[in-house]
Amino acid sequence: MINQRSTTILPKNGYDIQEAIDAVPSNNKEVVFILVEPGIYNEKIVVPADKPFITLSGSKPNGTVITGSDSGNIFESATFTVLASDFVGRYLTIQVYITSPCMCGPGAKAVALRVSGDRAAFFGCRILSYQDTLLDDTGRHYYSNCYIEGAVDFIFGNAASLFERCHLHTLSEGDASIIAQRRESPSEETGFTFLGCKITGVRTAVLGRPWGPYSRVIFVLTYMSNVILPQGWDDWGDSSKQSTVFYREYKCYGPGANNRKRVEWSQLLTAKEAEIFLTKNMIGGKNWIRSTPKRFKKASFAISNNSTTH
């Protein structure tokens, strides 16, 4: 049981976000609330596995921007990496800042956010890159009212995640995939569910393709603009995966949700089948998704960065 009387860390001018995270005791058992004042923070941040129960919060996402420019290895290059359990991110922009044209060209992988801890939640965040924006790697995760932007496989990984009321914006200029889920066996309880979301974009894209042979993606009550191609899904050039993937839609709407020309190996859910995907129970969220603490034990040191340039 965690201590609900939380600590707040308000770092002094000159401190960066990583220093505030590093100041949290290892294996702490109380919520630590780190308030980040508006500004642009050019940092590569890691929340280590031995620092659970951290909440990192800005006051509004457009004002608190964490930016990086690394690319390449998807597990090492992320601007922001969460390895700890019970992490919460609130009202932050996490992005890859494109410093050269080659970074956003075909094949260039630049991860903005990697989430590899269990029971992680993000509220009102903006997550921005081009290819491989959000590595939703392992664990149970919840994304609420987040804006996620990219062009190729920009939400990918093998977590068990619920995206609720999120806005997905594809920069694809052809037929790139939005989702690349990696479930590798039928015994894995992983997959991505998008509930009450919105999909927009600049040209056309498909909803998803299988990074793993048992890839599982569900769209429920989601608005799909005409950016979504009629076929809806792609098998990534491997027809054998058509019989093992689980790609489903339920009561989605908008011009891109027309299912008359969907690939035959995707299906619509019945009302009974959809029930489990309409609540947070699918990720056990009732037991771990927490609200902002109301009481704090102490205030020690708010992160402030008045820089307005990258």
Q: List, by residue number, the catalytic residues.
A: 153
Structure token digits, residue 281: 């129970």
Does residue 133 contact residue 149 with C-beta atoms inside 8 Å?
A: yes
Phi and psi based region of residue 237 (left: phi greater than 0; alpha: psi -120 to 50; beta: remaining): left
- Token pair 């290892």 is at which residue? 26
Q: Is 267 exposed, middle or buried (0-12, 13-18, 19+ CB in 10 A)?
A: middle
- Cα radius of gyration (the chain): 19
Looking at residue 146, its amino acid is C
Does residue 143 contact residue 161 with C-beta atoms inside 8 Å?
A: yes
Which of 135, 52, 112, 57 has the alpha carbon at shortest distance from 292? 57
Cα(299)–Cα(297) distance, rounded to whole angstroms? Answer: 7
**Residues with Cβ within 8 Å of residue 35, at least 6 apart in sequence:** 8, 9, 10, 57, 58, 59, 302, 303
Cα(182)–Cα(284) distance, rounded to whole angstroms? Answer: 20
Q: Is 101 helix (H, G, I), strand (E, B) or coil?
A: helix
